[in-house]
Amino acid sequence: MVPMKSPTASGLEGVVVAHTALSHVDGERGTLVIRGYSIEDLVERGTFEDGCGLLWNGEWPSAGEREALRAALAEARQQAFTLVSSLGEALTLADGMEALRAAVGQLSAVDQPADRFRLTGAIPVFAAAWARARSGQPVVPPRSGLSHAADYLQMLTGELPEARRIAALDAYLCCVVDHGMNASTFVARVVASTGSDLVSAVVAAIGALKGPLHGGAPGPVLDMLDAIGHPAHARAWLRAELEAGRRVMGMGHRIYRVRDPRAAALERAMAVLERTEAQGERLALARAVEREAERLLTERYPERSLRANVEFYTAIVLDAIGLPRTLFAPTFAASRVVGWCAHVDEQQRAGRLIRPASTYVGPAPPAASTS
Ligand code: COA
């Protein structure tokens, strides 16, 4: 065995890999800043289209710019819909993220500014078409004049959605539009740093987002709430999971040592939705599970401070909006693609290949025979 010669940061924790003007996560204070605006400000005052303007153009869009972005995204959704019938097997795959990866992988790279719109328009169109096909329903085309959030819901249901469901989805899309050097964004930047194209970077990023330690967590959060069933069962259920060596989905974060600010923003976004009795019960259950999970994780890892992350309340919000849990991760991708595009642009301007080193710990070759 060759001895380790230099220290390695496990999981690259604490390693700075880029200078970015796009977003900043302060894990100690529990703040997230997107281009100089707090996430709370973006969620309360902004729309998904404002998030695109901020990240892609560097400034909060004027009313005219917002309209232009909205029209360009609507056009991109229309264009993407024309491809749906020629995507072959992609949209028949069983997993939504696999379907998205396969469908987006069929786009050809044209030029970067246009590809941002093409990709951002394509993801909700492909995700909605996949969900409709999976449930044996005909696909629904995009409708002009709608916002990105409204059209996504419209393509999923075939109906014009209620204003409050649109507002809640829009708040969610704003919440997760970018988040520092998260795993999928890093992947996109690595691909971009090789001189490859934006479509390739986004396909790779979709693959990274799919994992349960990243964007794949909210579906399992709902599964957990279903399995627990009642606040009174939370402690025993969670304790058994931890004793079996399993992780509690929606809890913990690489950066945050306090509650994820996006969890709070999403909890507030819930307020716009009409609360049915079942949703009220689910929210009460979620709060009880969060409290118990926090207590048990603090007992186990007192130095780590594992609190609820964005995925915990994502599960509750997207479920209350009426999205099936199989669409949670694809819906995350529908927003985060905006951040990936902005990071790819920034990385390409930085212009240096990302190529870290590794420490070899395998066997040395056999010594050459001296006889
Ligand atoms: N449930 C149980 N244990 C957890 C945990 C969780 N949710 N999160 C972290 N831990 C444990 C780890 O297993 C580790 O224990 P070990 O030292 O005995 O192996 C310890 O706490 C420290 O983990 P940490 O270094 O803080 O985790 P990380 O930075 O490597 O991972 C996550 C961060 C998000 C991947 C991790 O918290 C996790 O798996 N959470 C659940 C999945 C999730 O919600 N993902 C969405 C993230 S937005």
3-state DSSP of the chain: CCCCCCCCCHHHCCCCCCCCCCEEEECCCCEEEECCEEHHHHHHHCCHHHHHHHHHHCCCCCHHHHHHHHHHHHHHHHHHHCCHHHCCCHHHCCCHHHHHHHHHCCCCCCCHHHHHHHHHHHHHHHHHHHHHHHCCCCCCCCCCCCCHHHHHHHHHHCCCCCHHHHHHHHHHHHHCCCCCCCHHHHHHHHHHHCCCCHHHHHHHHHHHHCCCCCCCCHHHHHHHHHHHCCHHHHHHHHHHHHHCCCCCCCECCCCCCCCCHHHHHHHHHHHHCCCCHHHHHHHHHHHHHHHHHHHHHHHHCCCCCCCECHHHHHHHHHHHHCCCHHHHHHHHHHHHHHHHHHHHHHHHHHCCCCCCCCCCCCCCCCCCCCC
Contact 304, 298 (CB under 8 A): no
Q: How far apart are CA 91 and CA 76, in angstroms?
A: 19
Ligand 1 pocket test, candidate residues 243, 253, 258, 307, most atoms within 8 A of CB: 253
Determine the distance separating the centroid of ligand 1 and the alpha carbon of 253, expressed in angstroms: 6
Q: How far is CA 39 from the centre of its chain?
A: 15
| Model confidence band, residue 279 (pLDDT cutoffs 50, 70, 90) | confident
| Model confidence band, residue 268 (pLDDT cutoffs 50, 70, 90) | confident
| Model confidence band, residue 272 (pLDDT cutoffs 50, 70, 90) | confident
Identify whether 290 is a catalytic site residue.
no
Residue range 276-296: mean pLDDT, rounded: 90
Amino acid 39: pLDDT: 96
Residue 164: other Cβ atoms inside 10 A: 13
Q: How far apart are CA 49 and CA 277, in angstroms?
A: 33
| Low-confidence winner among 73-87, 204-218, 335-349 (lowest mean pLDDT) | 204-218
| Model confidence band, residue 369 (pLDDT cutoffs 50, 70, 90) | low
Determine the distance separating the centroid of ligand 1 and the alpha carbon of 357, expressed in angstroms: 25
| Model confidence band, residue 43 (pLDDT cutoffs 50, 70, 90) | very high
| Model confidence band, residue 216 (pLDDT cutoffs 50, 70, 90) | confident
Backbone torsion region of residue 136, taken as left when φ is above 0, otherwise alpha when ψ lies between -120 and 50, otherwise beta: left
Amino acid 278: pLDDT: 79
Determine the distance separating the centroid of ligand 1 and the alpha carbon of 132, expressed in angstroms: 34
Residue range 158-184: mean pLDDT, rounded: 95
Contact 172, 266 (CB under 8 A): yes
Residue range 283-305: mean pLDDT, rounded: 93
Closest-CA residue, ligand 1 atom 37, reads: 252
Amino acid 5: pLDDT: 46
Closest-CA residue, ligand 1 atom 39, reads: 213
Closest-CA residue, ligand 1 atom 15, reads: 301
Identify whether 343 is a catalytic site residue.
no
The tens digit of pLDDT for each residue in 69-127 reads 999 999 999 999 999 999 989 999 999 999 999 999 999 998 888 999 999 999 999 99
The tens digit of pLDDT for each residue in 235-260 reads 999 999 999 999 999 999 999 988 88
Which residues does ligand 1 sit against, CB inside 6 Å? 11, 213, 217, 242, 247-254, 301, 304, 306, 309-311
Q: Which of 179, 253, 267, 290 is catalytic?
A: 253
Residue range 320-349: mean pLDDT, rounded: 96
Residue range 48-57: mean pLDDT, rounded: 98
Residue 210: other Cβ atoms inside 10 A: 21
Residue 317: pLDDT above 70? yes
Amino acid 119: pLDDT: 98
Residue 6: pLDDT above 60? no
What are the Cα distances from residue 367, in Å, to 278, 301, 363, 364, 370? 70, 46, 11, 8, 9
Burial track 169-200 (b if 16+ CB lie within 10 A, e otherwise): bbbbbbbbbbbbbbbbbbbbbbbbbeeebbbb
Residue 273: pLDDT above 90? no
Residue 3: pLDDT above 80? no
Task: Ligand 1, residue 300: give the atom nearest the CA.
Answer: 21
Bigger pLDDT: 279 vs 188? 188
Q: Which of 49, 267, 294, 311 is catalytic?
A: 311
Determine the distance separating the centroid of ligand 1 and the alpha carbon of 316, expressed in angstroms: 20
Tell me the percentage of the chain whose pLDDT exceeds 90: 82
Amino acid 2: pLDDT: 44
Bigger pLDDT: 4 vs 84? 84
Amino acid 169: pLDDT: 96
Determine the distance separating the centroid of ligand 1 and the alpha carbon of 134, expressed in angstroms: 32
